Structure formats: C-alpha cells, structure tokens
Structure 1
C-alpha cells in the first residue's frame, strides 16, 4: 500500500441492551474495502468483506491489556475514573499478506 493511500477512519459505539459497551476505532484501506457505506457499518463489516468482497483473512495480531479509562471512555461508555477498561488492539491481514485492518477497541 502506498504511504499516502486513502484509508477509512471508522469510529463506532457498540451497545448491548441499549447500553454503551465498546468504543471501536478502525482504519481500513479504501483500495481493499471499496464502497463502504453507512448501511454496511451499521451491520457487520466482516460479513461485507467475506460475502460481498470475497476477502479471506490470513491472520491477525492482537494485543490485549487492562487500562484506566480515558476521557472518551468516561464520555461515551459512562466509565468513572477507576472503571477498568479492556483494550484490544489488532491488525488483520489477508491470505495474500495485505494489511486490511488496524483497530483499537475499548471495552467496559
């Protein structure tokens, strides 16, 4: 991928029983994920990747750590200053070795 190639920056708030649970911040290259729309984002991006674009994942690197809440966790997840947060950072690549996703999710 070129150094200045366009990428999607996707920020989603995930709810469980109408309560905020996860803030997800994702980057995906536009060249690999064309025509990404609000309708797709409101459903499953992975379903779109697998079923519509026929992309096969080759692997994932995932780092998981515990953290204290930042200002966004407090604002959007309703965490207080001592609420434990589980952070998951991941990189997903295709079976041909192309980086497809970088994401960081902050979970209550």
Structure 2
C-alpha cells in the first residue's frame, strides 16, 4: 500500500469517531454485508462516516492491508478496528456493540 492511501485511511479513522469502510454509501449500499452493518448503525442512531471503497481501487485494497482483515465492510470506533459484518451482527445481537459505544463515549439510541 502506498503512503497516500495509508494517509487517506488513517485520516478517515482519525477524524471520524465512527467510520465504516463499505461498498457503496450508507444511503445506497452496494453489497448486502455493507447494508447490514450500515442498517445496524442507523437503527442505533449512531452518527457515522461511510467511506465508499468502490470509488478507489487502492483504497479498497489498502483497507484490507491496513487492518489485516480480508473483507469489507470494516467498522472503526474511536480509532479501534471493531470488525466486519458477522462480528458486528453478533455484537449487536448480544448487546456488546452498545457496551463498546458506552465505553468509548459514542451516543446511540438506548
């Protein structure tokens, strides 16, 4: 991954408390997994930044290297990589996602 791509990814993570690297946008997800995570965040009314990896192939490849995680979407909360779709679904269903938000001071619908 080149330095420009790494800086772009780091900037998104540093400047957004909740950042979702996804295929498509929160309003128009381009894959079911991205839609699932985006919808979970919307149901919890969490303010988040959706980053469309389909707009830039180097970003799409780079985020996988950056996180050492092979799939998209990828959710970061307060600069910490939380996981992909299956992990976020499990965390949502178990209540763990709300706990992470509480611990990190992220507002959500209680």
TM-score normalised over the length of structure 2: 0.25
**Higher relative contact order, structure no. (Cα contacts within 8 Å, ≥ 6 residues apart):** 2
Which has a greater percent of strand?
1
TM-score normalised over the length of structure 1: 0.25
